[in-house]
A = this chain, B = another copy of it.
Amino acid sequence: MKSVVIHKALDLRVEEQDFDAAPGPGQVDIAVGAGGICGSDLHYYQDGGFGLIRVKQPMVLGHEVAGTIASVGAGVLTLAPGDRVAINPSLPCGTCKYCQAGAQHHCLDMRFYGSAMRTPHVDGAFRQHLIADARQCVRVAEGVSLAEAAFAEPFAVTLHAVNRAGSLLGKRVLITGCGPIGALTVLAARVHGAREIVVTDIVDATLEKAMEVGADRAINVADDPTALDLYAADKGTFDVMFEASGAERALRAGMETLKPRGILVQLGLGGDVSLSQNFIVAREVDFRGSFRFNEEFDLAVDLINRRKVDVLPLLTATYSVDDAVAAFEAAGDRRGAMKIQLSF
């Protein structure tokens, strides 16, 4: 069985591993079919981690995957070999105070695929076979490809962000940053009724994709740095902003276009950013972090299954697992790539 293993920054290897595990009770064996490369995968590859989280031991990457059930363990009644599923990479403990409060994504003992947050690290799902819990699997509808299903995880991240924002009924929305997360946020906001969606980025290709999936207007803030000023007049225009770039400049410029009491949902990871305390006070900005997802994973698969959204325009290219390093290089080129997937 082949796995995609990060050893340290710029040291990513496709390794052959034995695989003869059988699914235990409540588990399934999945032949992984498609896996998307996420920004955090890229950080491990490019930098060996992000912030305080560093790769300290070899770790299989990958948490945006879909596959086909190969076999099922005892007591698994809802899945059968041949079923195609999207795989939720979250394994919360279920018993800590956050799990019992319905906030499993803040579990004090979370195991999340392909994450070096805890040591030993939790291996990811970029491998040809995977033993998972049946409860992690959400069935993919007929006619929907595994490539589409592998978008469920990042799409869930953006649905969670929309959930954090509350109802979008009648709301004018700004999305800063149109990488995969920003573009999927366009889909998530559109399908939940945003009245108007304006997107910004500094790369035309990504802006074009955002328009293709439903944005109303795209602004290249590198080419046209004052284009947002119009929206900042009269105490702002937007009711909701999704910050998906992680860039201080985008955050600050966008915030000034928010109406009083506007909601700013931060999705993009980044470093320290400098903000005006006085502006936040005077505008009564409501600045909310959004982290991963919870019940939105199931919803993401459902929306893809029912064709309420079309994620395929965001798939740039698919590489064989053998070409994983090339795939990561391609994923790192923001000008050329939206989402890069591996096939197994």
Contact B271 A272, beta carbon cutoff 8 Å? no
Other-chain contact of A100, B100, B291, B302 (Cβ < 8 Å)? B100
B284 touches A288 (CB 8 A): yes
- Say which residue of B100, B103, B281, B299 sits within 8 Å of A169 (CB atoms): B299
Query: Would you call B280 and A287 a contact (CB within 8 A)?
Result: yes
Q: For the complex, what is the distance from the CA of A108 to the CA of B236, rounded to whole Å?
A: 11
Whether A291 contacts B283 by the Cβ 8 Å rule is yes
Segment 95-127 of A: residues with Cβ below 8 Å from B? 95, 98-104, 106, 108
Decide if A90 is an interface residue (CB 8 Å cutoff).
no
CB distance from A178 to the nearest CB of B (A): 18
CA of A275 to CA of B285 in the docked complex: distance in angstroms? 15
Taken together, the copies of this chain in the complex come to 4
Q: Is there a chain B Cβ closer than 8 Å to A25's Cβ? A: no
A283–B251 Cα gap in the complex (Å)?
Answer: 18
A278 touches B51 (CB 8 A): yes
Question: Which B residues are in CB contact (< 8 Å) with A108?
Answer: 234-235
Q: A159 interface residue, CB < 8 Å from B?
A: yes
Residues of A within 8 A of B (CB): 50-51, 94-95, 98-104, 106, 108, 159, 162-164, 166-170, 191-193, 195, 234-235, 246, 251, 260-261, 266-291, 295-296, 299, 302-303
